[in-house]
């Protein structure tokens, strides 16, 4: 019996459990559901950026054969929004339109051609208002308010000072200040948005399938705008082709689809084009940062004073959270004793950005790490050394804004990239127009206070054990390609010592799976992972009890070896199947539950309003070294190599973690070198994959990944965030490498040839 | 989006094609490889009444060496030109340019004549044929005619083609033992349209340039022959001095049109840089 071993699933590279369906093309995404008698919904969008709606005349359009129904803003007067404090967006515009492309009507018809023909004859009467396309324009004196309850077009102003900043600056030997501009970017996930809503007239029941990261929040917003009881709605998330944050709040397409289905008394499907997906937006806002850092001669930081202004688009979305993260998450990387932050979230006549990967902190961290690098070079301190001097004083550290750091792998990450990149030998010796740069980042492992505070556990997972000895994991956690279903399966399999093939997983169907807040803020591994472990332990206890009874032994003496349960070496033991049979005797199929809750000490600070934002159970850390070479005559930059280390606590699935880090580096590279939206009078002119320039595989550099494991005391098997932190670190590592290569420093993103050429030319003069 | 409704005809002969295109009452458009036309139809940037699919006109396809001319049929796919040994031996400038045209999937379908007739300002082939002094064969209701490439490109997507006419072939003089060529472009991403591009064709006797054509693309609305710069270099020795003057001359020869990805200044800088690095490589 000695050869029987528990199956190990954690820390072992595992292919994704939903891979076969995706690779074989069997996976059904929202747009793939085309039931019988399905109607088509097509959205009419505003041709102007800012106007009062006078009339939307649908009379002629309704007469067209094949048109079933046309809905406008009259369909619902219930606004939606992710944050309870900022719900003022309507699925279809009502009084005003506030950005070009805002939905104003939806035609339901037998086919797209008919729907489009109807849109072509809808008469939209409006009174145009001045449009504001830049933060400054919207903030200017006399600007018309986009929303009456937001005077001066300020969505949120954040203002805090923790520690004594003026004293810190006075005490410093050296102060440096710079301004940075980071362009607005989009996620460009592979699957455009889609929704299908089925309204059962007889039962007054709505079933919605949609491409979403947050089916639970969709469920809430559907009930709100439809004015239906939540129990009369079933929300299902089919396969999803990526999210990166653009689907972490309810999107108007999903809500319009459901409103249209009810109005049409049937089934309506809306599949957005790539252009509409860009317009729906929820990417990263354009951010202007002015930052000042004071340091002692030895490089120790004495104070940081900065402002961030975000072009927030026409509606709040996650905006308030974004501008709060831009302040709160400055902490937790380095030992900062005095920080002053002023954040302004501005309302403009552009599509609303949202919570993109690296939410809120990416641009600010870029500014900070750039400025620190510049300080190091002016003080003649090695850029790695200046970071070392400012490390947090070990784990179990409390920041000024009361973030509790229980595991801190930044030093190990730095050590790894320093060694692997040959930093000490190669830095400054690569030759002309070649450079090495270092940059760091950190990120939360789930927001400790959810945006919708209900008092319920943060995560609940069910495990169903049935007569066939298989276990079904039931979770609301949305698998969106990030590998959450594989993670949950690994966690359950590890606790029970079983092979992963014993498990199936069912996710995100509100009638079948427990509620889950969704895939955002890197919460799933930490929270759902822990809840899965809890559920699996509960199930294991039941199985041990059953085995003990059958073996006539004390439960404490029963050892679970996964496929085999035994009470002492002399015992013949029981197979897993026999234990299952014993456990179900008298009760039948059993479902056990597991929960996870965050600890109150991780709920952030009360020192300033909104201080709960950036409170998390654990923080992941990343360091990167980037090597570039630059053609000074064309300003073309080649990323030669990237060394990326991330402290993920514990790599539950090293294969998946490596993929996440590589993907983060690559996405960060897009923001750094080429991505950015452009508008002409509010008309987006980069809404295609030709004009919005995501790097191709040819531009992708070799990436060497270093996985650092600090084993977080509260993480599932010690795990933390793995999918966002490395994006943040790439951008400053890249621009620092460019500065190393050229002796001039780009401050604005993306670093286009135009901008870099100007820097090179100015340097010559 | 889907295109607006249109009628579709696939004629079997050139005569039939001309008859269809000659019907003045209908807004007709020729479908060759479709690599630019299909997207513009789908985005409803164009909405013709009639699509005349010329893919059945086999006589328009193929590369032929005819004396000291190469004749490339309008319907010849880019991939065929790219793999043609006749082109490689007799017209290396075209061979050099081919891999720069979009991606392989597009080259499998896109046609030589389509690229010429569309006249995209950032396309490679219009610039090459201008530099090579090629002639474009046109057939239309008024009969056959030939036009020198540089006179064919009129403005942004505007050519000398009259109503009912189509491009049937391009005639390119074969290379001589004294020919020197260069082709280069700068683009933001792999496979993107160029931010600036250059095609050069010259006759050289040792270091002496007897005749040079320098054509830029992705700079202005049409391919631009830098005639001033060429004049400086013609009948002279190629050295740092003459090249420097020629580069300076580009300030007058070119009037760059900025776009979303490159300012006027960057385009001018790139044009100079392209000429510099390519002609310097001839000196070494």
For residues A502-510, give the mean pLDDT.
97
- Asked if A693's CB is within 8 angstroms of B190's CB, the reply is no
A695 touching B, CB under 8 A?
yes
Using CA atoms, how far apart are residues A686 and A706, in angstroms rounded to an integer? 35
Nearest CA-CA partner of A494 in A43, A2, A7: A7
**pLDDT at position A283, please?**
98
Contact across the interface for A678 and B260, Cβ inside 8 Å: yes
Residue A491's pLDDT is 98
If contacts are CB pairs under 8 Å, which of residues 625-654 in chain A contact chain B? Answer: 633-634, 636
Residues of A in contact with B189 (CB under 8 A): 674, 693, 695-696, 698-699
Q: Give which of A715, A602, A704, A596 is closest to A649, Cα–Cα.
A: A715
Chain B contact set for A695 (CB, 8 A):
189
How much is the pLDDT for B42?
Answer: 87
Average pLDDT over residues A477-497: 98
Summarised one tens digit per residue, pLDDT across range A609-643 is: 999 999 999 999 999 999 999 999 999 999 999 99
Q: Residue B3's pLDDT is what?
A: 84
State the pLDDT at residue B8.
96
Query: Alpha-carbon distance B136 to B159, whole Å?
Result: 11
CB contact under 8 A, B277 and A695: no
- For B20-47, give one letter per residue: b (16+ CB within 10 A) or e: bbeeeeeebbbbbbbbbbeebbeeeeee
φ, ψ of residue A179 in degrees (nearest 5): -115, 145
Six token digits for residue B207: 């270091």
pLDDT band at A396 (very low <50, low <70, confident <90, very high): confident
Q: What are chain B's domains?
A: 7-53 (3.30.43.10), 61-173 (3.30.465.10), 179-283 (3.30.390.50)
Number of Cα atoms under 13 Å in the Cβ half of residue A407: 30
Arithmetic mean of pLDDT over chain B: 95
Tell me which chain B residues have a C-beta less than 8 angstroms from the C-beta of A685: 260
CA contacts within 13 A on the Cβ side of B214: 25
Residues A115 and A105 sit within 8 Å (Cβ to Cβ): no
**Mean pLDDT for the stretch of residues A306-316:** 97
| Contact status, residue A462 vs residue A202, Cβ threshold 8 Å | no
pTM above 0.90, yes or no: yes
Burial class (CB in 10 A: 0-12, 13-18, 19+), A379: middle
B190/A685 touch (CB, cutoff 8 Å), yes or no: no
**Chain B residues touching A754 at Cβ < 8 A:** 261-263, 265-266
Q: How many CA atoms lie within 13 A of A460 on its CB side?
A: 13
Is B189 in contact with A695 (Cβ distance < 8 A)? yes
Would an 8 Å CB–CB cutoff place A689 in contact with chain B? no
The alpha-carbon gap from B5 to the nearest alpha carbon of chain A, in Å, equals 10
Looking at chain B, list the stretches that DSSP marks H as alpha helix, in order from N- to C-terminal side: 14-22, 37-42, 78-83, 85-90, 92-97, 104-109, 112-118, 124-131, 149-152, 227-233, 240-253, 264-283
DSSP for A239-279, please give it: B----TTTTSS--HHHHHHHHHHHHHTSEEEEE--HHHHHH
Q: Please write the tens of the pLDDT for every residue from A143-170.
A: 999 999 999 999 999 999 999 999 999 9
> What is the Cα–Cα distance from A595 to A532, expressed in whole angstroms?
7
User: In terms of DSSP H, where are the helices of A122-228?
Assistant: 135-139, 165-171, 215-226
Buried b (16+ CB within 10 A) or exposed e, A449-486: bbbeeeeebbbbbbbbbeeebebbbbbbbbbbbbbbbb
How far is CA A230 from each of CA A92, A221, B136, rounded to the nearest angstrom?
A: 21, 9, 69
Contact A169, A303 (CB under 8 A): yes
Interface A:B, Cβ pairs < 8 A = 44
**pLDDT for res B192:** 85
Task: Name the A residues in 98-137 with CB < 8 Å from any B CB.
Answer: 112-113, 116
What mean pLDDT comes out for the span A285-289? 98
A699 vs B195: CB contact, 8 Å cut-off?
no
CB contact under 8 A, A699 and B270: no
Helix (H) or strand (E) holding A320: helix A319-328
Place of tokens 């498990």: A503
Question: Quick one: tokens of B188?
Answer: 């933001």
The alpha-carbon gap from B209 to the nearest alpha carbon of chain A, in Å, equals 26
Pairing of strands B153-155, B158-159: antiparallel
CA distance A406 to A718: 11
Mean pLDDT in residue range A7-24: 97
C-beta atoms of A674 and B189 within 8 A: yes
Per DSSP bridges, beta strands A619-631 and A559-560 are unpaired
Give per-residue pLDDT as tens, A405-462.
999 999 999 999 999 999 999 999 999 999 999 999 999 999 998 877 788 999 999 9
Residues whose CB is less than 8 angstroms from the CB of residue B25 and which lie 6 or more positions away in sequence, other chains included: none
Residue A637, classed as helix, strand or coil, is: strand
Tokens 């604005």, residue? A748
Task: Map residue A199 onto helix, strand or coil.
Answer: strand
Nearest CA in chain A to B190: A698
> To the nearest whole angstrom, how far is the Cα of B259 from the nearest Cα of chain A?
11
Beta-carbon contacts of residue A497 (< 8 Å; ≥ 6 apart): A6, A7, A560, A561, A562, A563
Q: What pLDDT is recorded for position A1?
A: 45
Structure tokens at A140: 């200017």
Are β-strands B166-173 and B158-159 bridged in parallel, bridged antiparallel, or unpaired?
unpaired
Please indicate whether, in this complex, the C-beta atoms of B262 and A753 are within 8 angstroms of each other: yes
Residues, chain B: 284
A270, A257 contact by CB (below 8 A): yes
Q: Can you give the pLDDT at residue A243?
A: 96
> Residue A2's pLDDT is what?
52
Between A685, A686, A699, which is nearest B189 by CB? A699
- Report strand pairing: A174-182 vs A748-749: parallel
Please choose, from the candidates A418, A180, A188, the residue with its C-alpha nearest in 3D space to the C-alpha of residue A308.
A180
In terms of Cβ atoms closer than 10 Å to its own Cβ (0-12, 13-18, 19+), residue A386 is buried
Nearest C-alpha of chain A: how many angstroms from B61? Answer: 30
Where do we find the tokens 């020629």?
A: B246
pLDDT of residue A3: 64
Distance between CA A317 and CA A445 in Å, rounded? 21
Considering chain B, what percentage of its residues have pLDDT values greater than 70?
Answer: 100
Angle, alpha carbons B33-B36-B42 (nearest 5°): 110
- CB contacts of A686 in chain B (<8 Å) are 260
Given a cut of 80, whether residue A300 has pLDDT beyond it is yes
Task: Say what the pLDDT of residue B43 is.
Answer: 82
Is the confidence at residue B1, as pLDDT, over 80? no
pLDDT at A598: 96
DSSP B42: H
- Dihedral sign, Cα of residue A528, residue A529, residue A534, residue A536: positive
| Pairing relationship of beta strands A636-647 and A619-631 according to DSSP bridges | antiparallel
By Cβ distance, the residue of B1, B261, B266 closest to A757 is: B266
Residues in Cβ contact with A529 at an 8 Å cutoff, skipping those fewer than 6 apart: A487, A488, A491, A652, A715, A716, A717, A719
Distances (CA, A) of A718 to A110, A538, A620, A652, A713: 53, 20, 11, 9, 6
Q: What is the structure's pLDDT at A455?
A: 84
**Sequence-distant (≥ 6) Cβ neighbours of residue A439 within 8 angstroms:** A366, A369, A373, A623, A624, A626, A729, A730, A731, A732, A733, A734, A735, A736
Q: How far apart are the first and last CA of chain B?
A: 53
Chain B residues with CB within 8 Å of chain A CB: 1-2, 186, 188-192, 195, 260-263, 265-266, 269-270, 273, 276-277
CB–CB contact A754 B190 (8 Å): no
For the ranges A177-186, A448-457, A646-655, the lowest mean pLDDT is seen at A448-457
Give CA–CA dist A208/A253, Å, rounded: 12
Taking contacts as CB-CB distances below 8 angstroms, the residues of chain A near B1 are 116, 273
């Amino acid at each position: 019996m000695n050869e029987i071993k528990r199956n190990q699933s954690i820390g072992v590279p595992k292919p994704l459990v939903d891979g076969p369906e995706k690779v074989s093309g069997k996976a059904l995404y929202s747009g793939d559901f085309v039931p019988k008698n399905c109607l088509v919904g097509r959205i009419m969008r505003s041709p102007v950026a800012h106007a009062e709606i006078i009339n939307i005349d649908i009379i002629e359009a309704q007469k067209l054969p094949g048109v079933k129904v046309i809905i406008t803003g009259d369909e619902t007067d219930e606004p939606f929004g992710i944050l309870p404090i900022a719900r003022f967006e309507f699925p279809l515009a009502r009084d005003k339109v506030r950005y070009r492309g805002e939905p104003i009507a939806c035609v339901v018809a037998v086919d797209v051609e008919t729907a489009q023909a109807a849109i072509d004859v809808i008469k939209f009467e409006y009174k145009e208002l001045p449009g504001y396309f830049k933060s400054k324009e919207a903030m200017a004196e006399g600007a018309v308010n986009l929303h009456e309850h937001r005077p001066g077009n300020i969505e949120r102003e954040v203002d805090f000072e923790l520690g004594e900043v003026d004293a810190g600056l006075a005490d410093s030997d050296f102060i440096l200040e710079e301004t940075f501009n980071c362009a607005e970017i989009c996620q460009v996930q592979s699957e455009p948005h889609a929704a299908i809503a089925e309204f059962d007239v007889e039962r007054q029941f709505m079933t919605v399938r949609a491409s979403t990261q947050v089916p639970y929040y969709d469920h809430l917003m559907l009930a709100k705008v439809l004015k239906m009881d939540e129990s009369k709605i079933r929300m299902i998330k089919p396969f999803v082709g990526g999210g990166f944050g653009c689907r972490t709040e309810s999107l108007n397409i999903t809500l319009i689809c459901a409103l249209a289905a009810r109005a049409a008394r049937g089934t309506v499907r809306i599949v957005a084009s790539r252009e509409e997906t860009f317009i729906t937006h929820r990417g990263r806002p354009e951010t202007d940062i002015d930052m000042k850092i004071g340091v002692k001669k030895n490089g120790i930081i004495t104070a940081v004073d900065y402002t961030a202004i975000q072009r927030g688009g026409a509606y709040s979305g996650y905006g308030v959270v974004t501008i709060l993260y831009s302040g709160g998450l400055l902490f937790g990387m380095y030992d900062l004793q005095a920080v002053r932050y002023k954040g302004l979230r501005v309302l403009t006549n552009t599509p609303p950005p949202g919570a993109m990967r690296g939410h809120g902190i990416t641009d600010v961290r870029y500014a900070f790490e750039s400025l620190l690098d510049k300080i190091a070079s002016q003080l003649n301190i090695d850029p790695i050394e200046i970071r070392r001097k400012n490390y947090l004083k070990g784990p179990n550290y409390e920041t000024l804004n009361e973030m509790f750091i229980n595991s801190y792998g930044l030093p190990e990450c730095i050590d790894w990239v320093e060694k692997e990149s040959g930093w000490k030998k190669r830095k400054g010796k690569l030759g002309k127009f070649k450079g090495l740069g270092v940059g760091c980042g950190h990120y939360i492992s789930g927001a400790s206070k959810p945006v919708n505070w209900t008092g319920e556990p943060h995560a609940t997972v069910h495990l169903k054990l049935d007569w066939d000895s298989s276990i079904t994991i039931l979770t609301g956690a949305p698998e969106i390609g990030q590998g959450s279903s594989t993670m949950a399966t690994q966690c359950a399999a590890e606790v029970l010592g079983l092979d992963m093939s014993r498990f199936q997983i069912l996710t995100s169907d509100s009638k079948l799976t427990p509620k889950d807040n969704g895939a955002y803020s890197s919460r799933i591994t930490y929270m759902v992972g822990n809840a899965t472990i809890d559920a699996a332990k509960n199930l294991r206890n039941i199985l041990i009890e059953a085995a003990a009874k059958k073996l006539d032994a004390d439960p404490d003496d029963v050892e679970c070896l996964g496929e085999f349960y035994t009470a002492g070496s002399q015992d013949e033991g029981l197979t897993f199947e026999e234990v299952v049979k014993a456990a179900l005797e008298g009760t039948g199929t059993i479902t056990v539950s597991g929960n996870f809750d965050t600890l109150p000490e991780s709920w952030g600070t009360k020192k300033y309003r909104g201080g709960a934002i950036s409170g998390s159970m654990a923080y992941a850390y990343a360091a990167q070294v980037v090597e570039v070479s630059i053609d000074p005559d064309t300003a073309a930059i080649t990323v030669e190599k990237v060394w990326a280390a991330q402290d993920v606590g514990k790599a539950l699935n090293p294969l998946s973690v490596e993929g996440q880090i590589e993907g983060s580096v690559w996405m960060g590279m897009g923001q750094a070198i080429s991505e950015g939206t452009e508008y002409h009078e509010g008309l987006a002119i980069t809404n295609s994959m030709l004009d919005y320039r995501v790097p191709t595989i040819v531009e992708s550099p070799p990436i060497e990944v270093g996985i650092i494991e600090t084993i977080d005391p509260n993480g599932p098997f010690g795990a933390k965030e793995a999918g966002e932190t490395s994006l943040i670190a790439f951008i400053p590592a890249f621009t620092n490498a460019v500065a190393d290569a050229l002796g001039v420093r780009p401050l604005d993103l993306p670093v286009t040839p135009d901008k870099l050429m100007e820097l090179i030319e100015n340097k010559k003069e | 989006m889907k295109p607006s409704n249109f009628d579709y005809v696939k004629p079997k002969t050139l005569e039939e094609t001309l008859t269809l295109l000659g019907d003045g009452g209908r807004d007709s458009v020729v479908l060759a490889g479709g690599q630019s036309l299909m997207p513009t139809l789908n985005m409803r940037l164009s909405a013709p009444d009639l699509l005349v699919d010329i893919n059945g006109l086999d006589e328009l396809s193929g590369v032929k060496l005819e004396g000291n001319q190469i004749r490339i049929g309008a319907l010849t796919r880019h991939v065929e030109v790219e793999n043609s040994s006749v082109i490689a031996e007799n017209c290396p400038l075209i061979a050099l340019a081919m891999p720069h045209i979009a991606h392989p999937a597009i080259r499998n379908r896109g046609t030589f004549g389509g690229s010429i007739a569309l006249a995209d300002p950032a396309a490679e082939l219009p610039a090459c044929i201008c530099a090579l002094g090629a002639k474009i064969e046109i057939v239309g209701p008024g009969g056959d005619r030939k036009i020198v490439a540089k006179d064919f490109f009129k403005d942004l997507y505007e050519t000398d083609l009259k109503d009912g006419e189509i491009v049937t072939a391009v005639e390119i003089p074969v290379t001589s033992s004294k020919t020197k060529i260069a082709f280069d472009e700068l683009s933001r991403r792999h496979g993107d349209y160029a931010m600036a591009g250059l095609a050069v064709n010259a006759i050289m006797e040792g270091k002496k340039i007897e005749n040079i054509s320098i054509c830029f693309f992705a700079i202005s609305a049409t391919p631009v022959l830098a005639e001033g710069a060429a004049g400086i270099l013609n009948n002279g020795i190629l050295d740092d001095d003459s090249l420097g003057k020629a580069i300076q001359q580009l300030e007058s020869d070119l009037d760059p049109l900025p776009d979303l990805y490159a300012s006027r200044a960057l385009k001018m800088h790139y044009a100079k840089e392209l000429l510099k690095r390519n002609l310097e490589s001839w000196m070494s």
